[in-house]
Amino acid sequence: MEKTINITLKVWRQRGPKEKGSFQTIKLDKVATDSSFLEMMDMMNEQLLAEHKEPVVFDHDCREGICGMCSLYINGHPHGPDTEITTCQLHMRKFHDGETITIEPWRSAGFPVIRDLMVNRNAFDTIMQAGGYISVNTGGVPDANAIAIPQHDAEEAMDAAACIGCGACVAACKNGSAMLFVSAKVSQLALLPQGKIEGARRAKSMVAKMDELGFGNCTNTRACEVECPKGVSISNIARLNREFISAKLQD
């Protein structure tokens, strides 16, 4: 027999970025513990619609832990109380019968609220456009396997590339810093020979764009690393700092 729980939701409702928001209390009964958190959110919206009330706006896409769009702050944790998962990978068996669950959007100046639980994460795309790319001579591209890359460097680059840009690091940081995201994107290219051409310019331009968009400074509390759904290491921040200082010295 399928196990179910009864829960109380405190959901943030906000009609727009300049509107004042508040919490709405919603009671849900007979929530299957095997259902995902987003399936529970769907159930909540179906109940609201049945009551002729406005459903809660929240972001989602793949529901497979790939896209990073399910950016919810749940009981004080980005993506919820479990570790190294996105919200869509969180299941209701992590919660108890009768529990009150508080759901909020990311809290950051760089991620303004669009409506309810949906935030504008275009800032990350803008940072990527500032330097998260490489240049190649398309007139004679060598076979990728012909470029010798030490295994350790390749593995570190792949670990950094695991970042899905969800913004949990920003939401977890008391300063709203995007350093873990930026450092992961810089590291995945700085570790590989293909990324050397723009190396100096990349570090400077991406850090400058991050500052311009209103993200805070890093004070190494490691909250970002703890809450990252892909376990991206803050060692990448050290690498970003080295790349940035090296670029400044070249100037």
Closest CA to 5 of 39, 26, 31, 25: 31
| One-letter amino acid for residue 14 of the chain | Q
Q: Which tens digits make up the pLDDT trace of 174-195? A: 999 999 999 999 999 999 988 8
Q: Which tens digits make up the pLDDT trace of 106-150? A: 988 899 999 999 999 999 999 999 999 887 776 766 666 677 889
pTM of the complete model beyond 0.95: no
Separation CA 219–CA 251 (nearest Å) = 26
pLDDT tens-digit profile, the chain (251 residues): 789 999 999 999 999 999 999 999 999 999 999 999 999 999 999 999 999 999 999 999 999 999 999 989 999 999 999 999 999 999 999 999 999 999 999 988 899 999 999 999 999 999 999 999 887 776 766 666 677 889 999 999 999 999 999 999 999 999 999 999 999 999 999 999 888 888 889 999 999 999 999 999 999 999 999 999 999 999 999 999 999 999 888 87
Is residue 234 within 8 A of residue 220, CB to CB? The reply is: yes
| One-letter amino acid for residue 165 of the chain | G
Domains of the chain and CATH, by start: 4-115 (3.10.20.30), 121-135+147-250 (1.10.1060.10)
Radius of gyration of the chain (CA): 21
